Structure 1
Amino acid sequence: MRDEETTPQTATGTLTPGAPAASRAAAPAPRTGPSPWTLRLVAIGLVLTALNLRPAITSLGALLEEVRDGLHMSGSVAGVLTSVPPLCFAVFGVMAPRLARRFGPGAVVCAGMVAITAGLVIRPLIGGTAGFLAASALALMGIAVSNVLMPVIVKRWFPDRVGSMTGLYSMALALGTSLAAAVTVPLTDAMGGSWKAGLGIWAVLAAAAILPWLPLLRARATAHDEPGPAAAAQPQAPELRITRSRTAWALACFFGLQATAAYITMGWMPQIFRDAGVSAGTAGVLLAVTMAMGVPLAFVIPRVAARMRTQGPIVVFLGACGLTGYAGLYLAPSGGAWAWALLLGISNCAFPLALTMIGMRARSGAGVVRLSAFAQSTGYLISIPGPLLVGVLYQHSGGWGVPIALMAALMVPQMVMGVLAGRDRTIEDES
């Protein structure tokens, strides 16, 4: 939409120096977009926000055994704790569109960073399991609304650079994920071995992410943060109609299936390698390699996808990498471990591709808000059973053959849904 574009614009009517005063008064005033300084500030805010969208989760995973012992947490409660993130993403993500309409996307993301900071500060200080879960939920609520609104901010502030900006913050998100997984334990050891300090230190990074948004809060009522009068005048689909869009459903299913694959990989891949005879240290490095693949590719894939009318070929390529990686895990898990880790890392880059398609499958800012909330909330609900089902199959079958077959089988509908979601159409067309 023209009214939401943030590139500098000028009025079509121009005046010559000698034009009459009346003509000067009647001529439309030149219209300019945000300053380069403002756009740089938004870009910094996007990167710092993205860095904070996973450390609350992966830092806890690195210290889960210490947290269990410190809080006297049962194994079943610890299992519930590992399933809380996608549930919170689904439940709290639904709130994002209403909050964005009321306060503006930038203000809500800023509040999300405040919630993450508060949750990370509070949860190590609370002695009981219930309080720890509540503080974790507070941080996850901030992550959930920010998850949904990141594509919205990219669409509104950088409408002509959706691919490159999505790639930038996707790369930062992958970096934050792998960084927290890699350095939480060494940081904890450096601070005396206290798991409370190891979890709480990440609040410093979250607090830093608040700062770039503060100067932008004053401008949230402008057309660059909320739809202006012309944008509001555009015909927009009622909120309930998004459930009638085949593209929205295809994108939600694609998002959910790729999230399922990612959570299974993060939760179970090291154990698959260890059961195949790979050492614990090497298994951890292999997982780090898989996660690290998302850093460069998360920047490249959205840029390529934004230049294509349909994203189906990228979906098929990523799916083929995943199928090959699962086949390798099934046939020779230890012999080609490094190759399978690389291939699964490439396959997991369906996540930044899904975020890019959210920005491309809606024409308006309001449409992106609705599509992002629907696709991510529904998708995270779809992803919840996958890791649990893999654990059940592993326990009852006594090996990894059946679980790996399930992982490979899920890759097929992921490819189908991704091809459907990648078609050149928008949810407004289908409404």
Structure 2
Amino acid sequence: MEQTTPAGLAVAERAPAGTTDRRAGVLVLVGILLVALNLRPAITSVGALLGEVQTGLSMSGTVAGLLTTLPALCFGAFSALTPRLSRRFGAHRVLLAAMAALVVGLAVRPLAPSTPVFILVSVLGLAGIAAGNVTLPVLVRTHFPRRIGLVTGLYTMVLNLGTALASAVAVPAAHATGGWRGGLAVWAAVAVLGFVPWLGALRADPTRTAGAGATVATRIRPARTRLGWALAVYMGTQSLQAYVVFGWLARIFADAGWSAGAAGLLVSLVTAIGMPIALLLPGLASRGRDQRPYVVGLIACYVVGYVGLLVAPHAGAILWAVLIGIGGGAFPLALLMVGLRSRTPAGTSAMSGFVQSVGYLIAALGPFAVGFLHDATRGWTVPVVFLLVVLVPQLVGGLIAGRNRYIEDEAAR
């Protein structure tokens, strides 16, 4: 049986049924959304204030470059550990600990007296974000098994909202609080909001004790399946595209003749387009058993957008930004398929950890590769062609992962 919250979301019913379960379902949903809100500000706020941070800590350009790549490296490293922790302690406890790590990291980071301390506490916060990235699809699969598309769309949209807010507010917050330290500290207060609901949601955790689910999870090895690798490649290549777009697209537009302010607005348009896509696409794609048409459609938007950058980077900039923003819908689609391609929360946990671990390591290569190609060729033609080439494995991985199949079945074979 299932119950329905006032928002129309199905909540798995657990004995004893009644008002308590409904309240627990609403609490979990609120907790998921507040966690999603906090999964990117810790990263984008540093990017917006990187110059001030670099000056304040006497940070070298090389170390500053490492700092911009640190999120992807931490996501790749810590994502693989999260499923093991979830099997032992339960997904809710892991998420509570992850948010605690994020709060501590964000609170201590502005107080860092040196670059090593700043990086160390940044790693702590990023480890919490990595665990949150992996755990949210598991909680959606556990508590909203019949509304995976809707809830995935909601939390992905809120995640994008947090990204946009941090980019827009970081500099004004720094000015209002007297410098970059105050501008970074405000996000610790926001992170506390994501911590509080899980104190009350622990009782709603059906995975809090080791049992059959944990035993099954130990037999699921996505790395030994075609589906696991296909989805990991799809996740990694779409994340690579996103890292490059947000890291380099403004520079591409600026070199095409747009002012720095206008180029930044064009990149903001990419983010703005991505928000309704993130909300609507998972719900639409989850209605059918085959997500391959959506994979192809999003790839097509990327192709036209990138070819446009090669042919008319100035004249058609708004259209290319819109198409690239639509193509970025590959991110919520990848998160959706993590849930749809598994039968159980244990399968979702194994898949989420593997896919995001491998995926973010792939993504970390993108900004470096594009920067190297630009320096080597003194232009943007080869880097954009590189992005077009990366769409090939993204398409192949998406077509394999988009078919109606399950990780548990492939793992059993």
Q: Output the CA distance in 1 between the equivalents of 2:137 and 2:31.
A: 13
**Counterpart of 1:255?**
235
Q: How far 1:236 sits from its partner (Å)?
A: 2.7
Q: How far 1:50 sits from its partner (Å)?
A: 0.2
Unaligned stretches of 5+ residues in structure 1: 11-29
**Counterpart of 2:259?**
279
Q: How far 1:191 sits from its partner (Å)?
A: 2.2
Q: Please say if residues 237 and 428 of structure 1, whose CA atoms lie closer than 8 Å, have aligned partners that are also in contact.
A: no
Q: Please say if residues 9 and 33 of structure 1, whose CA atoms lie closer than 8 Å, have aligned partners that are also in contact.
A: no
For 1:65-104, list aligned pairs within 5 A.
65-104=51-90
Q: Please say if residues 188 and 195 of structure 1, whose CA atoms lie closer than 8 Å, have aligned partners that are also in contact.
A: yes
Q: Which of 332, 341, 349 in structure 1 is aligned with 2:312?
A: 332
Q: Output the CA distance in 2 between the equivalents of 1:285 and 1:333.
A: 15
Partner of 1:362, secondary structure, is coil
Partner of 1:363, secondary structure, is coil
Letter in 1 for 2:197: P
Q: Output the CA distance in 2 between the equivalents of 1:127 and 1:256.
A: 35
Work out which of the two has the higher radius of gyration on C-alpha atoms and give 1 or 2.
Answer: 1
The RMSD of aligned alpha carbons is 1.9
Q: How far 1:71 sits from its partner (Å)?
A: 0.6
**Counterpart of 2:150?**
164
**Counterpart of 2:5?**
none
Q: Please say if residues 89 and 209 of structure 2, whose CA atoms lie closer than 8 Å, have aligned partners that are also in contact.
A: no
**Counterpart of 2:30?**
44
Question: In the TM superposition, what whole-angstrom CA distance separates every residue of 1:124-159 from its partner, at most 9, and x where no partner exists?
Answer: 101100000001101100000010010000000111
Q: Output the CA distance in 2 between the equivalents of 1:196 and 1:320.
A: 42
**Counterpart of 1:195?**
180
**Pair 1:412-2:392 in alignment:** yes
Question: In the TM superposition, what whole-angstrom CA distance separates every residue of 1:188-223 from its partner, at most 9, and x where no partner exists?
Answer: 22223x000011111111011111111122443xx3
Which segment drifts farther, 147-156 or 408-417? 408-417
Letter in 2 for 1:216: A
Q: Which of 387, 390, 395 in structure 1 is aligned with 2:367?
A: 387
**Counterpart of 2:347?**
367
Q: Please say if residues 6 and 33 of structure 1, whose CA atoms lie closer than 8 Å, have aligned partners that are also in contact.
A: no
CA distance 1:355–1:263, shift in 2 (3 Å): same
Q: Please say if residues 12 and 142 of structure 2, whose CA atoms lie closer than 8 Å, have aligned partners that are also in contact.
A: no
**Pair 1:53-2:39 in alignment:** yes
**Pair 1:105-2:91 in alignment:** yes
**Pair 1:296-2:296 in alignment:** no
CA distance 1:228–1:72, shift in 2 (3 Å): closer
Q: Please say if residues 88 and 137 of structure 1, whose CA atoms lie closer than 8 Å, have aligned partners that are also in contact.
A: yes
**Pair 1:268-2:242 in alignment:** no
**Counterpart of 1:216?**
201
Letter in 2 for 1:35: D
**Counterpart of 2:117?**
131
**Counterpart of 1:378?**
358
**Pair 1:144-2:124 in alignment:** no
Question: In the TM superposition, what whole-angstrom CA distance separates every residue of 1:50-71 from its partner, at most 9, and x where no partner exists?
Answer: 0000001000000001111111
Which segment drifts farther, 236-245 or 381-390? 236-245
Q: Output the CA distance in 1 between the equivalents of 2:370 and 2:20.
A: 49
Q: Please say if residues 239 and 370 of structure 1, whose CA atoms lie closer than 8 Å, have aligned partners that are also in contact.
A: no
Letter in 1 for 2:49: L
Question: In the TM superposition, what whole-angstrom CA distance separates every residue of 1:145-192 from its partner, at most 9, and x where no partner exists?
Answer: 010010000000111111101111001001101110111112222223
Q: Output the CA distance in 2 between the equivalents of 1:9 and 1:124.
A: 43
Q: Please say if residues 72 and 360 of structure 2, whose CA atoms lie closer than 8 Å, have aligned partners that are also in contact.
A: yes
Q: Output the CA distance in 1 between the equivalents of 2:173 and 2:25.
A: 34
**Pair 1:176-2:162 in alignment:** yes
Unaligned stretches of 5+ residues in structure 2: 3-9
Q: How far 1:241 sits from its partner (Å)?
A: 3.1
Q: How far 1:281 sits from its partner (Å)?
A: 0.5
**Counterpart of 1:322?**
302
Letter in 2 for 1:300: L
**Counterpart of 1:207?**
192
CA distance 1:33–1:373, shift in 2 (3 Å): farther
Q: Please say if residues 90 and 209 of structure 2, whose CA atoms lie closer than 8 Å, have aligned partners that are also in contact.
A: no
Q: Output the CA distance in 1 between the equivalents of 2:409 and 2:88.
A: 26
Letter in 2 for 1:7: A
Q: How far 1:107 sits from its partner (Å)?
A: 1.3
Q: Output the CA distance in 1 between the equivalents of 2:314 and 2:170.
A: 27
| TM-score, normalised via structure 1 length | 0.90
Question: In the TM superposition, what whole-angstrom CA distance separates every residue of 1:269-328 from its partner, at most 9, and x where no partner exists?
Answer: 000011111000011111111112221111111101111111000011000000111011
Letter in 1 for 2:182: A
Q: How far 1:75 sits from its partner (Å)?
A: 0.5
Q: How far 1:33 sits from its partner (Å)?
A: 9.3
Q: Output the CA distance in 1 between the equivalents of 2:84 and 2:394.
A: 29
| TM-score, normalised via structure 2 length | 0.94
CA distance 1:61–1:114, shift in 2 (3 Å): same
**Pair 1:357-2:306 in alignment:** no
**Counterpart of 2:406?**
426
Letter in 1 for 2:189: V
**Counterpart of 1:243?**
223
Q: How many residues align?
A: 404
